[in-house]
Amino acid sequence: MKKLTGIGLSLMLVLMMCLASFTSVWAAEKPRLIDDANLFTAEEENYLSVLLDNFREKNDFDVVVMITKEGLEDPELTERADDYYDYEGYGCGENNDGCLLLIDMGSRVMHVSTTGYGITVLTDYGIDKMTDDIAAKLGEKDYVGAVSDAFMEDLEMMYKAAEEGEPYDVPDSSVDLDIKDPSTHVGIFLLALPFGLIIGGIKTFRKKRQLISVKKKKAASDFVKPGSLNLRRENDYFLYSTVTATPKPKDNDSGGSSTHVGSSGTTHGGGSKSF
């Protein structure tokens, strides 16, 4: 019995390994460029597919480009991109690392969906830059350039940055001060000077005011008979209320990637832009 279980287990293991390798091979053979809008010639399609495949093989990071003309807009566009990526089984490694660029020529809106390590590589700020660059190329009707130059070049740059430990994100506004740098001291002096002048000005003004003791009196409060104020009517009527709501400022500069969960239960990052 024990032996049987052992054989069964090893058999299952072998089967699973086969299945895994099959999935991986199958995944590798899946098209990474889906052009439902017939935007590209067969030649261009070939060229771009090679670019996408090469990136995947080199970095173990899936890249999919999908062109539709269904006239989708958010939130359907985001759902479509996420679902296509999840249900078609794209992605590398156990976290399905990768990203998908969906361009809808019908609604002229694009969406970049990120998954797994893709969420780290493409931050909100990065996606904003990337979609800006793509939109510029699409505006020039340079569809190949939109994918090969704008999308892929930005992706290469951002992937490299993430690999180096600093994902492409909101520029760090804090400045590192160097105490040896003379300009630091000039800056500190220039910052302190207005405060110094204000304090000096106020103190001088106060001392100057000591010289003035003659003032016109506007009221006669010294001559009110003590306790003579007698109110015969004191009414406070409530009239009405107004309520104003001010939206809380959203912290846009915090950087990082915002995420949501797709219908398959997978967490995605991403961002859309019209062009």
Partner 1 sequence: MADLLEYKCPSCGGTLKFDAGTQEMKCPYCGSTINVETLASMDENLGVKEDSFDWVKMADNQWEEGEADAMKVYVCNSCGGEIVCDGSVAATKCPYCDSPVVMQGNLEGNLKPDLVVPFKITKKEATERYLKHLEGKMFLPKVFKDENHIDEMKSIYVPFWLFDCDTDASATYRATKTQMWSDSDNDYLKTDYYKVIREGTMEFENIPVDGSLAMPDDLMQSIEPYKMAEAVDFQTAYLSGYLAEKYTVTAKDSIDIANERVRNSTIDAFRKTVKGYVSVDNTSVNVTVNNGSCRYGLLPVWIMNTTYNNGKYIFAINGQTGKTVGNLPIDKKAARRYMLKISAIATAVVAAAEYVFLFVL
Binding site for partner 1 (CB under 8 A): 177, 179, 188-189, 191-193, 195-197, 199-201, 203-204, 207-208, 210-225, 228-248
Give the nearer residue to partner 1 in terms of CB position, either 2 or 208.
Answer: 208
List the beta bridge partners of residue 51.
none
User: Residue 274 belongs to what H/E stretch?
Assistant: strand 267-274
Exposure class string for 117-150: b at 16+ Cβ within 10 A, else e: bbbbbbbbbbbebbbebbbebbeeeebbbbbbeb
- As measured in angstroms, the least distance from the Cβ of 191 to partner 1 is 6
Distance of alpha carbon 169 from alpha carbon 217, whole angstroms: 64
CB of 173 to partner 1, least distance (A): 16
Minimum gap (Å) between residue 236 Cβ and partner 1: 5
If the CB atoms of residues 4 and 239 are measured against partner 1, the closer one turns out to be 239
Say if CB 257 and CB 119 are below 8 A apart. Answer: yes
- Judged by beta carbon, residue 5 or residue 174, the one nearer partner 1 is 174
φ/ψ (deg, to 5) at 10: -65, -35
Q: Sort strands 259-261 and 109-115 into parallel, antiparallel or unpaired.
A: unpaired
Given the complex with partner 1, which of 193 and 261 has the nearer CB atom? 193
Q: Which is nearer to partner 1, 141 or 209 (CB)?
A: 209
Instruction: Report in angstroms how near the CB of residue 208 gets to partner 1 at its nearest.
Output: 6
Angle between helices 42-59 and 152-163 (to 10 degrees): 0
167-177 burial code (b ≥16 CB/10 A, e <16): bbbeeeeeeee
| Minimum distance from residue 258 beta carbon to partner 1 (Å) | 16
Beta carbon nearer to partner 1, 16 or 177? 177
Residues β-bridged to residue 101: 65, 112
DSSP letter (8 states) at residue 172? P
At closest approach, how far in Å is the CB of 120 from partner 1? 27
